[in-house]
Amino acid sequence: MTTANPHINIFIAYSRKDKSYLEELQKHLSPLTDKGDVTIWYDGEINPGDQWEAAIKNQLNSADIILLLISANALASNYFRHKEMEKALQRNKTGTAIVIPIILRACLWENTPVGTLQVLPKDGKAIDLWDNEAEVYTHIARRIRDWILVIKQRQGQLILESVGQVGEKMERLAEIKETGEKEHEIARKVREEQEAREKAAEEAIVKAQQQQRKEERLIKLKKLVKGVIAIIIILLLIFLTRKALLAPSFKKLPVSIQQLIENMEFVEGGEFSMGCKESYDCGDDEEPIHQVILDDYNIGKYEVTQKQWHAIMNNNPSKFNDCDSCPVERVSWNDTQEFIKKLNIKIEALKIRKFRLPTEAEWEFAARGGIYSKGYEYSGSDTIDSVAWYRSNSGDKTHPVGKKMGNELDLYDMSGNVYEWCSDRYGEDYYENSQIRNPKGPKKGSKHVIRGGQCSRSSWESKIYNRDEHVEVMNKCVHHVGFRLAQTQDSTTRVTMYRCQSPCLIHKW
């Protein structure tokens, strides 16, 4: 006795931007349609004159299997999500159709309603992430073939893979149909046992794959730990060797210069908005606010003191010259260059980075707190008395460095006490033409930038975006201008910094 071969209708919902995936899938499914008992339909099969939406609706309502080709393009389509996918999930819920989501490209499919369904390819790994395209499409085609067999079994028609078993199974189905309820019950139990065995096999495969991935992650973790330990050991050896070699030369320096070197703070580079916000009463030269990107660098924790100046220059030009720990002042930009030149000669044997003045952008980024900035108006606080010596609290004189609160980078006196020279020449309209990465100021100009305010000026001059300028040769009647130092970093030092957070010489230098 023979039984009519049931017909299976497959509906494919997709985004037209993913048509190349549809065409490749059709090629791999074509063997399933050779016998004429499987029909694959998508909107490209609509005949001329047919109403497009009505045709899709009819095919969607009559399909036995609905393939949802999932990608960011499809999920962004309102028609796909609210018409095709919504109807497909309703039919899946009522058991009138089987819905198979197929992940084409990586996207957030887990956050959509199909996230609760079993998807293809295996493990939800998108097709475009597989190295072997033929393998993944073949895997998908086989799983769809399995579902076709399940549907045919449910309709009472067992389709066997072995040609030699076809006749036997067809005969048995005929017998089951003729012998009544008892035989039907036996067939149902056979199907349930088969499904249970398939489910158990799938669970065993999934468990084995999970265990394999766990073991692979453990192996990778062990390799990573070994690599990190090796790097730490190498860096520690470099540090100890360098410290041993440099220690004698370092100890020969004056103590104040040793402190100056040790108090250079690492600043991790980044992007920030430089200038005065529109909501403030900005000066013309403080606008427009603009984006700046800086590389890593070092900057002095404190302003250069009178004692440090005297150790290099053997003089003290400061007006308030009875305070070794106060910032040196009444120094011109040219004076700072002479100081830096002599300092770099003095430390040449140490083979450390040469000192320089910070650029204006480096100065403001550091004053704002770098990548840890909390957006204060003054360097370290919105309350000026906490961080700065200025007209209202200084007695119109400088004070020892580091006595006020530091900012987010542990830098002191960047607001108030003394103005600080920058390496940039001054240009009133420079912010309109500033380069984005590591700007260094105008190429021409008779004046240089000074920043930070000072002890005899108002709170306004101490704001971190305030700009001022002065000629290179200082007018000796004008005091309260000093400086702090900077150093250029490089990629190797940045790595070292992450390994050495305590005050050690290697990351400072």
Nearest to 357 by CA among 275, 299, 432, 285: 299
Domain membership of residue 2 (yes or no) is no
Distance between start and end Cα atoms, the chain? 92
Same domain, 408 and 375: yes
DSSP state of 82: I
Domain-ending residue, one of 233, 252, 271: 252
Domain membership of residue 46 (yes or no) is yes
Domain membership of residue 85 (yes or no) is yes
264-277: burial string, b at 16+ Cβ within 10 Å, e else: bbbbbbeebebbbe
Selected residue with higher pLDDT from 178 and 223: 223
What is the number of structural domains in the chain? 3
Domain membership of residue 154 (yes or no) is yes
Same domain, 24 and 146: yes
Same domain, 28 and 108: yes
Same domain, 118 and 248: no
pLDDT > 90: percent of the chain: 49
- C-alpha count within 13 angstroms, C-beta hemisphere, residue 301: 17
Same domain, 308 and 334: yes
Q: Please name the residue that has the structure tokens 């393009």.
A: 73
| Enclosing domain of residue 223 | 180-252
Same domain, 164 and 34: yes
Q: Give the model confidence (pLDDT) of 262-303 as tens digits.
A: 999 999 999 999 999 866 678 888 889 999 999 999 999 999
The gap from C-alpha 443 to its chain's centroid, in whole angstroms, comes to: 35
Same domain, 241 and 293: no
Q: Strand 419-425 and strand 481-482: pairing?
A: parallel
Q: Give the model confidence (pLDDT) of 29-51 as tens digits.
A: 989 888 888 889 888 766 665 67
Domain membership of residue 453 (yes or no) is yes
The gap from C-alpha 437 to its chain's centroid, in whole angstroms, comes to: 20
Same domain, 360 and 295: yes
Domain-ending residue, one of 131, 146, 179: 179
Distance, in Å, from the CA atom of 61 to the CA atom of 64, rounded to the nearest integer, reads: 9
Domain membership of residue 3 (yes or no) is no
Domain with 308 in it: what CATH number? 3.90.1580.10
Same domain, 497 and 438: yes
Q: What is the pTM of this model?
A: 0.52
Same domain, 472 and 423: yes
Q: Give the model confidence (pLDDT) of 299-347 as tens digits.
A: 999 999 999 999 999 999 999 998 999 999 999 999 999 999 999 999 8
Domain-ending residue, one of 179, 207, 238: 179
Same domain, 92 and 196: no
Same domain, 214 and 138: no
